[in-house]
Structure 1
Amino acid sequence: MKFKSFLAKPFASIVSKNIKKGMQTAVEDQENILKYLIKTARITQFGKEHRFAELNDYKQFRQSVPVRNYEQLKHYIEEIKAGKHNVLWRGQPLYFAKTSGTVSGTKYIPISKESIHNHINGARNALLCYMAETGNTAFADGKLIFLSGSPVLERVGGIPTGRLSGIVNHHIPRYLRKNQLPEYETNCIEDWETKLGKIVEETIRQDMTLISGIPPWMQMYFDELIRRSGKPVGELFPRFSVMVYGGVNFEPYQAKLFQSIGRKVDGIETFPASEGFFAFQDTQTEPGLLLNTNSGIFFEFIPADEIGRENPRRLSLGEVETGVNYALIINNNAGLWGYDIGDMVKFVSVDPYRLVVTGRTKHFISAFGEHVIGEEVEYSLLKAAKEDNVHITEFTVAPYVSNDAGKSYHQWFIEFENEPEDIRHFSQKVDQYLREKNAYYDDLISGNILQQLIITPVRKNGFIDYMRSIGKLGGQNKVPRLSNDRKIAEGLTQWIKN
């Protein structure tokens, strides 16, 4: 029974030592990756159009390759779907990862035979670093659950296509298959609520030791386990010791998740996306996620205050500073070039290169010039919630624009696990912390252009019902923290608490 955990110890030690060595060569590794990417893609349509045969360094590369979003790369993807080879990368993609885009509709992100290893080994390395540091390998002998999308793949232009989590499911090592739950047939269920019920049936009497997924999914899973059993999750699963999460900031969900478990368990945070596995938590003792600097991706960074400019500065890894928000740009061995993934990051360390995700470049409020970002609203709300012992289930923020001076405000839709005793006083605290965090917002309040934020409580499960109503419950879908318009706010109207 303990065979896997026994074998994991030496393997974890070897991988962890190699990762620590890589911390010292991160900048050099990035330079070598760029050279490899340029050399390999010279034969491609993209490489020929952008003079890759003439490029020798990063300065020349950024002059030749502009920053693009999916819509601006879409015509290349369409050629690949039509059967053309050597378009963005040599040959054709091994897969398309299908994801939803607000502007482009469904996006098809290429994954090559070279880049698939980035997705698989990133998650593996996060677990192995945890094992090496803590000595906890026992969870490898229990049941492991990966709350993922359906592994059923369709073919688009002859290329296997599906959700990234479903694609990766096909590459889980054989030695873990017997430990993995739910069963393949259950994972294939498309309807999230039906699938959730089946997952609970399969796992409620099992020896679960590791649970992985995005925090909102895990909370729904925990809620259903508790509803059916009447017991906290930690009592149902006495050996449950590791929780792996990513996709959204963990902090807003942390208190309720641990309350549902009934005790603390170790957490491992990851930064995955359809475009690549960018970073992972390599230690339990230091903040931030270790950037995946030697895995086929060359990273670039644009300072947040230059996003949207015609010619923003583009920095390589060796040029970044701690404490600065950057838009993350990637170039990878699947043919994404100068690709803006839409996430903002901030380095908390450059020795080694560890970062935190601070929000989405498109998720902000600047209806009045304040440019409030996700990191700021999460900090303000969680600080006030901690002081008042308030637990938050979910929230989103939108601007309310009035034609009357001093009447416009930020409207916060919050689903509370337990409401504050005085919601007006609570909103004043959140507002004050946001003013301290964002000078532009503070100026607007001081100048009577905005009034203090207003909190609108959402009834229990209101966000779940809203996501269900728009067909985005489960899957990879998350509620945006911030919107610069009223679309989500208006959609939530029917679930506002009386």
Structure 2
Amino acid sequence: MKIKSFLAKPFASYVHKSIQRSMATALEDQNAILKELIKTAKATEFGKEHRFDAITSYQEFKQAVPIRDYEQYKPYIQKLKEGKHNILWRGKPIYFAKTSGTTSGVKYIPITKESIPNHINSARNALLCYMSESGNTSFADEKMIFLSGSPELERIADIPTGRLSGIVNHHIPNYLRTNQLPTYETNCIEDWETKLNKIVDETINMDMSLISGIPPWVQMYFDRLIERSGKKVGDLFPNFQVLVHGGVNFQPYKAKLLESIGRNVATIETFPASEGFFAFQDTQKEEGLLLNTNSGIFFEFIPTAEIFNENPTRLSLHDVKVGENYALIINSNAGLWSYNIGDTVKFVSTNPYRLVVSGRIKHFISAFGEHVIGEEVEFSLMKAVRENNVHITEFTVAPMIQQGEGKSYHEWFIEFEKSPVDLAKFAKQVDDNLRSKNIYYDDLITGNILQPLKITIVKKNGFIDYMKSIGKLGGQNKVPRLSNDRKLAEELRPWTENH
């Protein structure tokens, strides 16, 4: 056994036990975090505006601090970008995480001295839990690759600014630096395809043990490796043991990724965002991701049906229920207060608190009152995929609104890796699955308001070519699962088979 894997065993066991102990104190930890956040931020501009000095309970906090999204935070962020101190949190941020918003353009999310450990330690803890549970630490001695954004940072008001993955790259411990690929120079390449080719050059002859990234971009890496070597990834890298993924639901990509590898490997799911690292898979034996209840973030939850209400119900962890869909709201030591991050989650357990990411608030279709969400379309498609031995590369759904009763429908744009034998039968199965999941959609079909869904086939690499055409290939960029209008559908049209 080599030195890193040898030392990892006791450390992994220590951290894993600590995380297991914190499962029992989740509610107390959340209460303590809210009190500490309010106490620390009392003297900030935000704290003074919202009378933090008078808040003594969560009920009072809810009355004092409304739910906001990034657009409503922009005036505060602007002051930080001008170099002002003590605005949302004491002092000033040590970083801005720069991210693309679907409605806000570029967003600048503050990261503080107090919040950076949440981003660094949570990813580490996910690996340590796996090591402790499985006993497998050998991959710690071998080569690892983290498909991430450029670590080169610009400065705004003398605050280093860049992609979250690039910021985190600067905090990888020295003992892992010798294992890490690609090289710093390659990681700094902005153009994704140029960068990908260079990554393949650097790794194709290395026996990678761990690969980490957003599933669609990991798949592109795998495709390029297979194309170059003529081998499955698992044969090319005999020591490949662990795939770490996050950013999107894994299920639509899982079959193709595992087929590209050619054998099973351990998979570890994470739930990171520029605003915080919210949850991670702590065990291979149970469903869901363990909520990060003791990492500087106080969580709130709003039933998704109420998210657009003027005064929605706001719940702390005390009151959440298994199986309900909630919009995730955070309060953090980065200075984000009752901040709507745009994701929806569903608890699969409350002892301990484990959840799954069920979709995005703004990614839904309700052109006819059906309110179809991401979780429902993914379930409907993947059930049909499994039953028909079909593999998909990517997909998105949009409404097609046409005049006249029974003429409108949902249009599904799907890129198949392995197509169904009978597309019409496959489409009907997906439609039936969706009808079983969403009663409003079923009523619209039954009432002849909507036709059953129609599938438009996207050409091979069509989604990649589309993302390239809009300058969003690689990095942290993702194709929206659902749109409530035709903008994405029409932009995608040139890459469809019948165009």
Aligned-residue offset at 1:62: 0.6
In the alignment, which residue of structure 2 is the partner of 1:447?
Answer: 447
Measure, in 1, the Cα distance between the counterparts of 2:356 and 2:101: 23
Aligned-residue offset at 1:416: 0.3
- Cα deviation, 1:420-445, whole Å, max 9, x if unaligned, reads 01100000000000000000000000
Q: Which runs of 4+ in 1 moved over 4 A?
A: none
- Cα deviation, 1:314-366, whole Å, max 9, x if unaligned, reads 00001000000000000000100010000000000000000000000000000
In the alignment, which residue of structure 1 is the partner of 2:146?
Answer: 146
Measure, in 2, the Cα distance between the counterparts of 1:71 and 1:342: 12
SS in 1 for 2:311: coil
For 1:55-454, list aligned pairs within 5 A: 55-454=55-454
Q: Which amino acid aligns with 2:301?
A: F
Measure, in 2, the Cα distance between the counterparts of 1:206 and 1:388: 36
In the alignment, which residue of structure 1 is the partner of 2:464?
Answer: 464
- Cα deviation, 1:165-209, whole Å, max 9, x if unaligned, reads 000000000000000000000000000000000000000001200
In the alignment, which residue of structure 2 is the partner of 1:38?
Answer: 38
Aligned-residue offset at 1:497: 1.2
Aligned-residue offset at 1:104: 1.8
Q: Which amino acid aligns with 1:81?
A: K
Measure, in 1, the Cα distance between the counterparts of 2:459 and 2:404: 30
Measure, in 2, the Cα distance between the counterparts of 1:370 and 1:188: 44
- Cα deviation, 1:220-256, whole Å, max 9, x if unaligned, reads 0000000000000000000000000000000000000
Aligned-residue offset at 1:103: 2.2
Measure, in 2, the Cα distance between the counterparts of 1:307 and 1:76: 23
Measure, in 1, the Cα distance between the counterparts of 2:233 and 2:2: 24
Q: Which amino acid aligns with 1:246?
A: G
Give the structure-2-normalised TM-score.
Answer: 0.99
Aligned-residue offset at 1:41: 0.1
Measure, in 1, the Cα distance between the counterparts of 2:428 and 2:367: 21
Measure, in 2, the Cα distance between the counterparts of 1:45 and 1:52: 10
Measure, in 2, the Cα distance between the counterparts of 1:332 and 1:191: 33
Q: Which amino acid aligns with 1:24?
A: A
Aligned-residue offset at 1:132: 0.3
Give the structure-1-normalised TM-score.
Answer: 1.00
CA RMSD, Structure 1 to Structure 2 (Å): 0.5
SS in 1 for 2:404: coil
Q: Which amino acid aligns with 1:138?
A: S
In the alignment, which residue of structure 2 is the partner of 1:4?
Answer: 4
Measure, in 2, the Cα distance between the counterparts of 1:236 and 1:421: 32
Measure, in 1, the Cα distance between the counterparts of 2:455 and 2:362: 23
Q: Which amino acid aligns with 1:290?
A: L
Q: Which amino acid aligns with 1:259?
A: E
Q: Which amino acid aligns with 1:171?
A: H
SS in 2 for 1:110: strand
Measure, in 2, the Cα distance between the counterparts of 1:411 and 1:81: 42
Measure, in 2, the Cα distance between the counterparts of 1:4 and 1:472: 37
Aligned-residue offset at 1:260: 0.4
Measure, in 2, the Cα distance between the counterparts of 1:163 and 1:313: 33
Aligned-residue offset at 1:96: 0.2
Aligned-residue offset at 1:102: 2.4
Question: Are residue 47 (structure 1) and residue 47 (structure 2) matched?
Answer: yes
Q: Which amino acid aligns with 1:400?
A: M
Measure, in 2, the Cα distance between the counterparts of 1:458 and 1:77: 40
- Cα deviation, 1:52-87, whole Å, max 9, x if unaligned, reads 000011000010000000010110010111111000
Q: Which amino acid aligns with 2:71?
A: E
Q: Which amino acid aligns with 1:458?
A: V
- Cα deviation, 1:88-107, whole Å, max 9, x if unaligned, reads 00000000000011222110
Q: Which amino acid aligns with 1:306?
A: E
Measure, in 2, the Cα distance between the counterparts of 1:5 and 1:129: 14
SS in 1 for 2:63: helix
Q: Which amino acid aligns with 1:361?
A: I
SS in 1 for 2:327: strand
SS in 2 for 1:492: helix
- Identical-residue share of aligned pairs (%): 74
SS in 2 for 1:42: coil
Measure, in 1, the Cα distance between the counterparts of 2:142 and 2:48: 51
SS in 1 for 2:85: coil
In the alignment, which residue of structure 2 is the partner of 1:484?
Answer: 484
Measure, in 2, the Cα distance between the counterparts of 1:323 and 1:270: 20
Q: Which amino acid aligns with 1:430?
A: V
Measure, in 2, the Cα distance between the counterparts of 1:23 and 1:347: 15
Question: Are residue 474 (structure 1) and residue 474 (structure 2) matched?
Answer: yes
In the alignment, which residue of structure 2 is the partner of 1:28?
Answer: 28
